[in-house]
């Protein structure tokens, strides 16, 4: 069983409003990401909230046990990953890590990454678009301790670099896996390019 962890702890300062609630394909980013991780292999869903926790929790129907509040969100993305790892229920084989500002990914891509995780037995599985690595990333449970020890400056990338020979890249034609929608201009470009 895998856990899906959606990171939505930042302040969205460049965007001007919580990214989790921005519309994409007719619904909020967070709703879309929750839907694409509704899969039989995923038994646990967690959303890490920080700066805008209250407004997001009010707007999106989440169960109490799906929410993790990262009180140290100002320390950056890794602090949210670590908050999720610390609250991870026993028995997960790994976690599918999704970023709120990378919403333009499909359920099919998530399924492909999960298939490769189980087939390849590699501890890290991630998508690659035209040679660029993207998100979501699957980390095996065996790497949880390393994620907890990773330096804040480099974050989870330090764990990926430490296991360079153990990364399974899944080639995809979904540009969304490398599109970081963190300001209005990028979002408008991405949305106008969709249709």
CATH label of the domain that carries residue 162: 3.90.550.10
Q: How far is residue 190's CA from residue 35's CA, in Å, rounded to a whole number? A: 20
The percent of residues above 90 in pLDDT, for the chain, comes to 71
Encode pLDDT of 2-36 as tens digits: 999 999 987 655 555 677 887 777 888 899 999 99
- The CA-based diameter of the chain, rounded to the nearest angstrom, is 43
pLDDT of residue 52: 85
Cα dist. 28→22, 44, 83, 138, 156 in Å?
Answer: 5, 21, 23, 23, 26
Residues in Cβ contact with 166 at an 8 Å cutoff, skipping those fewer than 6 apart:
122, 123, 124
Number of domains in the chain: 1
What is the average pLDDT across 139-155?
Answer: 96
Instruction: Look over the chain and give the mean of its residue pLDDT values, rounded to a whole number.
Output: 90
Encode pLDDT of 101-144 as tens digits: 888 899 999 999 999 999 999 999 999 999 999 999 999 999 99
pTM > 0.85: yes or no? yes
Q: Provide the β-strand partners of residue 7.
A: 48, 99
Only one residue has tokens 């899906």, namely 4
Q: How far is residue 18's CA from residue 87's CA, in Å, rounded to a whole number? A: 24
Q: Domain range for residue 23? A: 2-194
Tell which wins on pLDDT, 55 or 137: 137
| Cα torsion angle, 67, 68, 71, 72, sign | negative
């Amino acid at each position: 069983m895998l856990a899906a962890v959606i990171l939505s702890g930042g302040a969205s300062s460049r965007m001007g409003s919580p990214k989790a609630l921005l519309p994409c394909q007719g619904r909020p980013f967070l709703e879309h990401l929750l839907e694409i991780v509704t899969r039989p292999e995923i038994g646990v869903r967690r959303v890490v909230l920080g700066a805008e926790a209250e407004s997001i929790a009010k707007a999106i129907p989440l169960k109490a046990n799906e929410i993790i509040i990262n009180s140290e969100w100002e320390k950056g993305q890794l602090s949210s990953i670590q908050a999720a790892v610390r609250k991870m229920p026993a028995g997960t084989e790994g976690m599918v890590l999704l970023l709120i500002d990378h919403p333009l990914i499909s359920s099919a891509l998530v399924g492909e990454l999960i298939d490769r995780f189980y087939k390849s037995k590699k501890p890290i599985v991630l998508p690659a678009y035209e040679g660029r690595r993207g998100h979501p990333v699957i980390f095996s449970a065996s790497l949880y301790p390393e994620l907890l020890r990773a330096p804040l400056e480099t974050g989870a990338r330090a764990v990926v670099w430490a296991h360079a020979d153990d990364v399974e890249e899944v080639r995809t034609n979904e540009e969304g896996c490398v599109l970081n929608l963190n300001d209005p201009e990028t979002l408008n470009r991405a949305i106008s390019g969709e249709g």
